[in-house]
Amino acid sequence: MIHFSLCFFFFVAFSCLAAEQTRLPLNDYFAETWNTRSGLPHNSINSVAQTNDGYVWIATWEGLARFNGREFKLFTRSEIPDLPDSGLRSLAPQADGSLYISGARGGVSHLKNRQWLVQNNASAMVNYVLKTRSGEMWLALEGDGIAYRDYDNGPEHTILVNLSAYRLVEDKRGVIWAATSDGLYKIENKIAQLVTPSSGLPHSSIYSALLTQQGQLIVAGEKGAWRLVGDMFESIHPKLDGESISSLLQDDHDDIWFGTINKGLFRLSEIGLEQLDADSGLPANRILSLMQDREKSIWVGTNGGVYRLREAPFSSWTKKRGLNGDYVRSVLSHSDGSMWVGSSLGLNRVNNDSVVAIPPAFEQGPLSILSLAEDNQGGVWVGTYTSGLMRVVDKKIYPVINRDNGLLSNEIRALLFDNEQRLWVGSAAGLTRIDPDGSVVQYTTEQGLPGDFIMALALDSRGNIWVGTGVGVAMFNGELEKFKGQAFPKQFNAEYAFGFYAQQNFMWMTTDRGLIRFNIITGEIAILGREQGLPVDKLFQLVVQDDSFWLSSNRGIIQVKQQQVNELLNDPSSIKGQKLQYQLYDEGDGMLSAQANGGSNPAATLHNDGSIWFATSQGASTVVPERIKQASQISLPTVIESLYVDGKNTPILYDEELVLPPGTARLSFHYAGLSFIMPQRLNFQTKLIGYNNEWVNRQRLTITEYTNLAPGKYTFMVRAGYPNGQWQDNYKTINFVIQSYFWQQTGFKLVMLFTLLLLAFGLYQYRLYHYKKIEKELIIRVEQQTRDLQQQTDAFAHQATHDQLTDLPNRRAFDSWLAENFSDFKQQALPLAIAIMDIDHFKRINDGWSHIIGDRVICVVAHLLSQCVKSDASEVARWGGEEFTLLFPNKTAQQAAELCDELRLEIANYDFSTIANGLSVTVSFGVADSLTVNDYDRLLAQADQALYKAKTIGRNRVEIIFSDTLSAEQPES
């Protein structure tokens, strides 16, 4: 099946609809950082620019970097002729696609048509280059003022001296505005005039100037930012007054961005003034440059690397935005337009980007919320992990019923109001129905449920109640007042039913083996899982929006077309001939964590504003599919970056025919698609006219090689495309001809071919006997070497996982087993006990009898423990030294401790005098189980604490450590 993991839609939706959409808060932007560890030559990013061909260029103190989305290509004095120093200060892209670079020691160079054109050096470091509409080159110099040249490499004329100039802009009237250390200068007809405080600017340094798309001048410096209104400068925003601002940018929304010297980044938009600093994710608070690329991403140059912000499809609600907790288990779309979010640390109501915490009515610890439901009067009911059923009244949470007064369990994972407004409560011990008159009815396996651990409840189009458990589903018929079990077909291999979605004739179920469709009319059942093309087995919740299914999983959010899913399920025989198209969204699309949560309901929901909300381990993630759906494809430049002919880099000629010498054996074309949002997922097609006239899919390969091409004329073509998108007419071509030797003529080839055939036939007859003779010898040698290698491999594998002294599994093998199986026990809510054993006073044995006797004691103890494997423990391992570990699947710590105590007595009563006279041995055990921990590291730590306790209070005993508090729940998902 084809994995369309990320379509082109989501990063263009926002740019195409920019004028119609409200701004995203800065915290909702998806951010990425590049620095020296990523391939940059220096972390101080003095300037960022994009040229017409699509490349992003980055100027640093150690050279220039060209970025194609995948890698940086560096340019220093070695690659740029006559550049006096690699330190670069500014970049100036031109409308014709060329690029001016400037920097230390007065260096200026011009990149045009892939060639570096040498420029005369200026008298001091060049902070900025401005090419005016008349063709003049103006230079802002460090310490040497401002100069201009009538043309490139022309004589230099000085305008200002003895100051530092930082930025130059030219307005529509040809007036040049200069940001300098003395303030703002207005240069008209080559005459410079300082803008005095009488015009509204303070007497201070001006670091940057910007001419907006509307023609308004904005300047910024060490005391704030101002805009020119008429003949007076006005403060842009009072909160920026006094801030030292180093750079300015106007984006396609007409928002203004401000880079500061030590306060990070500010943005002024219709939602107000926002700040982003190092505490919010910036690499550093010193901003040196700003740029918006053609894909509408914002690039921020800092002294800690380059930082990029883009509007991702997903945004997240977390503690940072006001939630009580990040581990979200349930999201509810309320009829009043608000969203309710339940996490492991409490309940929140989100409305119009405002978050309100809903506290418990009575003082107690934070409530862990598992499930939510709304009644027909708008009341919100809450299922908790340890406190039973509760209800929100007057913005507080009040208890309703728990295990002490009628519930089967306090762990409530699903809530549902049926057509008669009866409340169904799904718990870890069964199902409870609360009627409007307050009467309570209990249902367990004795009443027909397939299992007592309830995870999901749903109402179908006929009014039947569907119940999802850890061992299948059941349907409650209201007329018959009884349950009918619905076992999954054996070939599905499904057990857990995490969620439901009801349609007119279907009930959809998200399970641990994929998406199941049940026809409530005919009883037909079908599954869409990994074998049918889904990327994962385990699905938690299904949300339907227009023509798409949105599925949550532990690896992200999957979007599939509803029509294709039905087509595949209607005709299973056609699955082999079809390719399931899906999109998998994860952290690269704005989610803070790809791990969505399940086993509680609702774990995902469609909100009335068209957004979809998902409960994840790092907040509530939300996506607006309409933004993606309305997007159109943006231009994707394709470039051929290099051509290697027989291993040598050859200059590329786009407009001329490249002539290659006779005997050219290998051509290697290196190319790229210049998208900076999803460069690793772009697809490529190539064509070599003269060799083949059809486009060849290269998938994500950025290199195509041809070997032993015949002499002749060829045209190489390459184009890039977004996943799941239409191919654009963005191909690049190179025309070349391979010259031929005289012996490469057709007649000569025919003569040589005939001669070679005769020689080959004779050689074949001559060598045939010899080859047959040595064939037998080679076969014998290969078989012997294969056997030797296999024996050696088996020995190495055993040594890597077993203790050399006792031949028991070692710590590596034990850790591997525990890591691979711990989550399975947690998901199935099964206990897993672990014991760590230590031989008491083992040092005395070594000191008193010798290390040889100590080793023999270890071997005897290992033998006694190994006998336990055959009965009660599944694994025993030598942990290290005199310590051993034992695993007890499906046993609690108490049960394991009883077995350990029997082992303790058996070892204590064992006659060790056969090893050494007067020798007796006792051991101590520390025991813990998985019921109160969320990861195996914590389980090991608790067992180790228990062993320490046993050794501290006397040894020759078994101790158990129980957690004082309930662990953060990690459900069966």
Q: Is the peptide bond before 360 cis (omega within 30 degrees of 0)?
A: no
Contact 98, 730 (CB under 8 A): no
Residue whose tokens read 């107690």: 364
Q: What share of the chain is helix, strand, coil (3-state, %, to 5)?
A: 20, 40, 40
Q: Please state, in angstroms and rounded to a whole number, the distance separating the CA atoms of residues 887 and 289.
A: 58
How many residues are recorded in the chain?
973
Quickly list DSSP for 422-456: PEEEEETTEEEEE-TTS-EEEE-GGGT-S-S-EEE
Query: Mind spelling out the 3-state secondary structure of 484-544?
Result: EEECCCHHHCCCCEEEEEECCCEEEEEECCEEEEEECCCCCEEEECHHHCCCCCCEEEEEE
Contact 236, 246 (CB under 8 A): no
Give buried/exposed letters for 823-837 (b at 16+ CB in 10 A, else e). bebbbeeebbbbbbb
Q: Which tokens is 22 given?
A: 């409200």
What is the enclosing helix (H) or strand (E) of 733? strand 732-738
Query: Helix or strand or coil: residue 334?
Result: coil
Contact 518, 580 (CB under 8 A): no
N- to C-terminal Cα separation, the chain: 25
Query: Helix or strand or coil: residue 230?
Result: coil
Q: Which tokens is 311 given?
A: 């509007």
Which one-letter DSSP state was computed for residue 294? T
Smallest CA-to-CA distance from 660 within 737, 745, 713, 734 is with 737
Q: Please state, in angstroms and rounded to a whole number, the distance separating the CA atoms of residues 118 and 375.
A: 76
User: Which position among 882, 883, 969, 972 bears the catalytic label?
Assistant: 882
Contact 482, 467 (CB under 8 A): no
Contact 950, 969 (CB under 8 A): no
Contact 362, 354 (CB under 8 A): no
Q: Cβ contacts of residue 438 below 8 Å, gap of 6+?
A: none
Smallest CA-to-CA distance from 342 within 437, 401, 285, 414 is with 414
Q: Cβ contacts of residue 480 below 8 Å, gap of 6+?
A: none
Q: Please state, in angstroms and rounded to a whole number, the distance separating the CA atoms of residues 303 and 260.
A: 12
CA 270 to chain centroid, in Å, comes to 30
CA 215 to chain centroid, in Å, comes to 40
Q: Please state, in angstroms and rounded to a whole number, the distance separating the CA atoms of residues 753 and 320.
A: 76
Contact 836, 943 (CB under 8 A): yes
Query: Helix or strand or coil: residue 846?
Result: helix
Cβ count near 38 (within 10 Å)? 14
Q: Which tokens is 767 given?
A: 């060598």
The DSSP bridge partners found for residue 193 are: 186
- 299 burial class (0-12, 13-18, 19+ CB within 10 angstroms)? buried
What is the enclosing helix (H) or strand (E) of 309? strand 305-310
Contact 541, 566 (CB under 8 A): no
Q: Cβ contacts of residue 244 below 8 Å, gap of 6+?
A: 207, 221, 222, 223, 260, 261, 262, 263
Active-site residue, 156 included: no
Catalytic sites, residue numbers: 882
